[in-house]
A = this chain, B = another copy of it.
Amino acid sequence: MQCLQFDFNLVFLDSAAQKVLIVYAHQSPCSFNTGAKDAAVEELKNKGCEVTVSDLYDMKFKASATAEDITGGVKNAGHFRYAQEIKLAWEEGRLSSDITEEQRKVTEADLIIFQFPMYWFSVPAIMKGWIDRVLTPGFAYSQEKRYSQGMFKDKKALLSFTTGSPEAMFSPTGIHGDMNVSLWPLQNGILHYCGFQVLAPQIFWAPSSQTPEARKSMLGDWRTRLDKLMGEEPLSFLPLDDFDEKCLQLKPDVAEKLASKEFGPALGIHLGKRLPPNSQMKAGV
């Protein structure tokens, strides 16, 4: 009986449509970012995916983390602690409806695409607000369930964004510095922290400086990539098992094995060695 049920589930999972959530932040429907978002919606739907878009500016999504995110009163109004209060509110089903609705979309999604223009080497504030408010403790992570053991380890996530400057300026010899470094806090600290399998970012370098033909070509490349996106190998991060449970430091035997390597094992966990090149931008590095 158990075997039959197992088979049924396998068949069900195979035939179920993949669900994609696009968290999208641009103010204008004529923007390149809209073009990238629309291309993703179209290509993924053509492949049979169910696609949902959270259009943050259109939704006037609340960015700031406040006591209004909790319904039915906070536990300690005298000393309001956001993380504790939203964890409790999540457990008791008392988060505000806008957060609950986004969490429902996250729960259903197999893949989340964040589509945005890079603002100040990061996501725009409205998208940071989505991250701060939706990825609540309890729902998105716990002390036990994070990084490679994270809540969302069966889901994939991808940053898709435009820059204002060309690629060379974001290199290890360019004035803005290595883009891999700027991506680490976002991709390791947010996406990998929640357990997501992080797909290589889709970076549209300075589309506003390009000809209409070049912009069209960039979107064409994105469409080509989308066709096989769900089968891509994710970026590589160190497994949680490589760290000791108490202090979350790299275990001595793991560190010893890495001692003779030229590069550090991960961008932030570099052990004083050279950074692994392009580890935040390409899979299999």
Contact = CB atoms under 8 A, between A and B. Distances in A.
A231 B167 CA distance: 37
29 contacts: A30-B78, A30-B80, A57-B66, A61-B64, A64-B124, A64-B126, A64-B129, A65-B124, A120-B128, A121-B186, A121-B189, A121-B190, A123-B128, A124-B132, A125-B126, A125-B132, A128-B128, A168-B249, A172-B269, A172-B270, A172-B272, A173-B249, A173-B269, A174-B250, A175-B249, A175-B269, A181-B267, A273-B274, A275-B275
Interface in A111-170: 119-126, 128-129, 131-133, 135, 147, 164-165, 168-169
A60 B131 CA distance: 19
A27 interface: yes
Chain A residues touching B, range: 35 or more
Contact of A122 (B66, B122, B172, B240): B122
Interface of A is mostly: loop
A186 B28 CA distance: 26
B28 A80 contact: yes
A201 interface: no
A238 to B, nearest CB: 8
Nearest to A180: B268
B185 A122 contact: yes
B31 A79 contact: yes
Contacts of A234: none
A244 to B, nearest CB: 10
A83 interface: yes
A2 B80 CA distance: 57
Interface in A1-53: 27-28, 30-31
Contacts of A175: 147, 240, 243, 248-249, 269
A184 interface: yes
Given A65-B126, A169-B248, 10 more contacts: A28-B81, A30-B79, A64-B126, A121-B188, A122-B122, A128-B128, A168-B249, A173-B271, A176-B248, A177-B269
Nearest to A120: B190
Interface of A: 27-28, 30-31, 56-57, 60-61, 63-67, 78-83, 119-126, 128-129, 131-133, 135, 147, 164-165, 168-169, 171-178, 181-182, 184-186, 188-190, 193, 240, 243, 247-250, 255, 264, 266-275, 277
Given A172-B264, A255-B173, A277-B272, A27 B121 contact: no
A89 B131 CA distance: 30
Contacts of A248: 165, 168-169, 174-176
Contacts of A272: 172, 274-275, 277
A196 to B, nearest CB: 13
